[in-house]
Chain A
Amino acid sequence: MSWAIRTEVVQGEGVTEETLSLRPPAHRVSRRAIGYWTVWAAVGWVVLIGIQLVFVLTSDDAPTWLTVMLTVSCVLAPLHLLVMPRWRYRIHRWEVTGEAVYTQEGWLNQDWRIAPISRIQTVDIERDPVEQLFRLAKITVTTASAAGPVKIAGLDHAEALALAAELTKTTQATPGDAT
């Protein structure tokens, strides 16, 4: 990502302009995550369209706005299912260094999260049924703040296990109660 904004940094007598931006984290998530995101989004759309269908079919004289909404949903759903997972796959990235965990996620709205290793309190691995189907796993790293958990979703399961083990080892090696 890059911004067209410039900050003025005064260096000595001359004024130079420096633009800061975040570089993307080093690793992509597993490619199978595209399938995973598609499945969950499809579930959402099926429920939404299903409810609307029931209303339209059961009422004798369905109001026009309901039919319009149903049509809009039916057009948006395939677009969303095609675009969102691929877009996400291009955005979702992660990196673990000796000092920090760094992730980039989202599609329309994007988030970058950085948590220092020294502040990590717990490392959890979660797998919902769909994740199990795609042999994926999600790692959640929590710190003492409720605002700061870092999640890495869509990791290959084996890779996630190794990463969690490594993180736990580093965390234990860091003294203090992480607050």
Chain B
Amino acid sequence: MSTEAPSDAAVGQWRRLDRRMLLIRPVLDVVKSLPVLIGTVLLGRGNGWEWFGLGVTTLTVLVGVSHVLTSRYRIAEGQVEWTTGLLLRKHRAIPLDRVRTVDVTSEPKHRLFSLSAVRIGTGRHSPAQGASGDQLVLDAVSQAEADRLRTVLLHRKEIPAEAEAAPPPEEVVAEVDRKWVRYAPFTLSGFAVVGAVFAAVWHFAHQLNIAPENVGPLRELMDDLANTAVWLIVVVAAVALLVVVSLLSVGGYVLSFWNFKLTREAEGTLHVRRGLLTTRSVSIEEDRLRGVEVKEPLPLRIAGGARLTAIAGGLREGKGGDKGGGLLLPPAPVGRVHEVAADVLRENFDPATVPLNRHPRRALTRRLTRAVGAVLLPAAALFGLAWVDFLPSWMWQVTLGLVPLAAFVGWDRYRTLGHAIVGRYLVSRSGSLARATVAIRREGVTGIVVSRSFFQRRAGLITVTAPIAAGSGSCQVVDVGGSAGLAMAEQAAPGLLTPFLRREAQR
């Protein structure tokens, strides 16, 4: 770690990203621009396009190298400062008291040299800058430096860089139990992998003009299939898919959670560590913890499992690998999930377990109309297309067959609906296929939104949303009775609603 020679303030010195990134970054950049390179070399041979491809690749590599060389950061005068860029200079400063989370990720590329990428989240949401606007990414620094940054940023305590300070004392809240891997197949995460692989292979074959039916082994398989009963094919295919998906899900669970550990450090920080190949370490300030969410997707619920996530300011939001910043417990027995939730919130019970107030019957009508309508509409469309001989008629018949299932989901969605105010918490539950129970601390509520659609008005229902100071987080209570919903909202944000309420005593 080299430091810029003189520093004005004695506290913070300018530091650079780890030089070993110079070995990793160019290789990755070249790999990233391979499609362009291959495309231009293959297609544009002879007319100069390959030079364009080479130029783009060189530029990408140079930009990457200059990013590593020119990025500097320091912690001084109560803020984290960061500058980068050779031609286009960027400078960003984040006050230390705005730092909410520190997320340390080591992907396999980083682990080659014991490096880590550090993401510093502030949890501020400015529509103009988007989610990345108030986030600072240091990709990458040494693991020791990452630990130091984490401690300095979250505990506001200066630790000398080279001192290799002993890790702060911590208390283990939860660790993964290897038996929990049995819940993996019920997360259906393997489906996504199978789908992606299938789509990729299909797309690739299509690009290379290989028709699947012309490939030798596949054609033999097709011929064999033609002589087999349809129901047998369906059953075998379903079983095979289930097996593959289960295996992939188990693999995914092992890769992501095998050494999962949730600890609490003395200074009041929750610390999540997980991952086999890509290791991740997320720290959440307990002061910024607004609540927890217990997620029970239908298959996992049938197996008696659930997941726990944190609702807190500054957690990374996004898609794919960026998701799951707030994970507090991977799929685990639901009882254990509630124990951990209570522990994390420092309560002697999990607010997500309390009995909830049911919503009026009219909410059931709405759930059923929606679920069944979502099946009937496509069925009608398919019927129309079959009518004009565009599609075979079995398609609308199969869709129509889904109506009982849809009705069940609608009914289950109604059964799940509920809300309660318990102590410091506002609790709301909803969903069937993706059931979730949210418990948020009432002091984190930053307003109230009451909405009533045209149809809700006729049914005398409202939807109450309690926005929370945690990024896009909010707690929604759907289709609650008008008066009951307002009574709940009044309690959820004490005093806020009272001056705008009209009370009429009946009878």
Contact = CB atoms under 8 A, between A and B. Distances in A.
Nearest to B456: A109
A99 B124 contact: no
A18 B493 contact: no
Interface in A65-111: 95, 97, 99-100, 102, 106, 108-111
A2 B447 CA distance: 22
A97 B100 CA distance: 31
B501 A21 contact: yes
B451 A111 contact: yes
A113 B448 contact: yes
A30 interface: no
B111 interface: no
Interface in B489-507: 490, 493, 495-497, 499-507
Given A20-B486, A102-B500, A177-B97, A145 B469 contact: yes
B460 A3 contact: yes
Given A16-B507, A143-B467, A22 B500 contact: yes
A95 B503 CA distance: 19
Nearest to A107: B454
A148 B447 contact: yes
A116 B447 contact: yes
Contacts of B125: 142, 144-146
Nearest to B501: A20
A112 B449 contact: yes
A146 B448 contact: no
A169 interface: no
B452 A110 contact: yes
B127 interface: yes
A6 B483 contact: yes
B132 interface: no
Contact of B470 (A106, A110, A145, A149): A145
A17 interface: yes
A116 B506 CA distance: 30
B388 to A, nearest CB: 11
A115 B313 contact: no
Given A5-B360, A5-B460, A109-B452, A20 B471 contact: no
B487 A143 contact: no
A173 interface: no
Given A17-B506, A143-B467, A179-B123, A113 B454 contact: no
A177 B505 CA distance: 40
Nearest to A100: B496
Interface string B469-482: 11111100000011
Contact of B467 (A2, A19, A108, A145): A145
A140 to B, nearest CB: 9
A20 B503 contact: yes
A7 interface: yes
Chain A contact patch, size range: 35 or more
What is the interface of chain B mostly: helix, strand, loop, or mixed? mixed
Contacts of A17: 505-507
A147 B445 CA distance: 11
Nearest to B127: A142
B444 to A, nearest CB: 9
A21 B123 contact: no
A146 B483 contact: no
Contacts of B473: 145-147
B493 A116 contact: yes
A3 B447 CA distance: 22
Interface in A1-60: 1-7, 16-23, 25
B468 interface: yes
A20 B490 CA distance: 10
B228 interface: no
A42 B420 CA distance: 45
B124 A144 contact: yes
Nearest to A148: B467
Which among A4, A6, A148 has the highest number of chain B CB atoms within 10 Å?
A148
A150 interface: yes
A114 interface: yes
B447 A119 contact: yes
Given A6-B483, A16-B506, A22 B493 contact: no
Contact of A109 (B313, B447, B454, B465): B454
A19 B98 contact: no
Given A142-B127, A145-B468, A145-B473, A20 B446 contact: no
B2 interface: no
